[in-house]
Structure 1
Amino acid sequence: MIDTLFFYIAVHMDRFSFDPHTLSYHKIEFSQKRKFSRFLAFLGLTLTFSIALLFLRDQQFHSPRSQNLSAAQQKITYELKLMDQDLLQYENNLGLMAFNDDHIYRVYFGVQPWSIRSVGVGGSRRYDRLQQFKFEDLLKRIYTNIDQVERKLVMQSTSFDEVIDLAWTKEEWMAARPAIQPIGRKDLIRFGSSFGTRMHPILKVVRPHE
């Protein structure tokens, strides 16, 4: 309503000029082109003023919808940070499992440590789709940790499969091991042959027993 009134005043209000010779006022006539230029100037000023008011309103005053969106964004960000911390804890637990695997289980079974531990997660442009989001760095870190944990789980599972096979083999070997002495105690009184010099069985000469 106010804008319409201002527009009417700017376009239709007559202007007069004072003539000092006749001491009278004369109406100023404007051409259509002049009126149109005045209209454009008024329209530009009105738009500028309206945009400035909207900007100030958004900066100083927040609507309920804007406040709800901001609160939801903060909550989602908090949950993402908690997820990132959980992923780091899972990765540390996997590191402890890998340490026990290499330095306890495999040492017991007499095999080399598992060589495949660190695996890649893809190319450098794997997470380019996340560039459109505000928290790009946080999302990239979470996705990277998820992929790393997933691949480490696969590698650790493969290593444990080998350890389980070694355990079954060890059990079979232990079952085949004699549980009694192969020679009785009464026969454990001498060696098969004495050490020192002896008669060589082929050359028939006395030589040191090697």
Structure 2
Amino acid sequence: MAKKAKFHYNPETLSFERVETSARNILKKIFIHLFSSAAIGFILFLIFTLLIDSPEEKQLKKDLETMKVKYRLLDKKVDQLTKISHDLQQRDNNLYRVIFQAEPLPDFTAGYSNEGALINELSDKSSSKILNETSKKVEMLSKQIYSQIQSYDEIVELLKTNETKLQNIPAIQPILNKDLTKVASGFGYRIDPVYHTRKMHTGMDFTAPIGTDIFATGNGVVTFAGWKQGYGNTIIIDHGFGYETLYAHLKKIKVRERQKISRADIIGSVGNTGKSTGPHLHYEVIFKGQHVDPLNFYFLDLSPEEYDKMIQLAQNAGQVLD
């Protein structure tokens, strides 16, 4: 079969002219087509490999996201446990060991920083580094817990020889407050509700209906039962060993001076007497003439979790009621 001839129109001669094809032109066209096809194929390969994940890569990314979530939860839980352990250690050093004149524990949280605990981007960290950071936190927490266990074992031994002292010192809340909802204001500087100035609040306020029972927080002797300027109807109990407690703004006083009382005895009822802006009990703990935070003296009432919650409530409480 004869090869078909190719023609092209020449505008200068206004006629069709035969196009001569050579092997060189044919090879050139074949090379251009092959190069173009290879370039397109390479571009498509890059698109599929760089922009579109394989099933294996999709699963790896999914596993990484799951690991991030689990690590954040684990890291947050470790931090919470560390804080609770630290609070218990401070409570131990500031109360139990002060009571029994024992040496304080070393602070294992010194130098500990929570900064960067919740890592938002784990992709730039190797698995070994992530595990190493978590391992260090768990190791520190383990040391704290071990130290605290030893401390409580020591305190148990001290209790055996200081039973009378433990019965006398304030150790419960002065009103029933199992749900921890009655804390109105804690110990520290607050805004005075009458004079609207910043002043030291030397006790803790508990809101409760008028007539609610008030309990003695430790064994002792009533040294004052009557009206006190600003405090209204007031009871003061001497617990010995340098401890006193004060209960103010009462409606009724149900004890008399020089009367011996035991922990949990009903001594009065909640009222609104004296410089008070609402029904509540104002409760103070005094040690060797100095006001101390009553929050540290509920250890027979509260679990570690409840104690931590009570700290938050006392710190976030607003204006005082007296």
Normalising by structure 1, what TM-score? 0.47
Larger relative CO (CA 8 A, sep 6+): 1 or 2?
2
- Structure in which a larger fraction of residues adopt strand: 2
Q: Which has the higher helix share?
A: 1
Greater CA radius of gyration, 1 or 2? 1
What is the TM-score of this pair, normalised by structure 2? 0.33
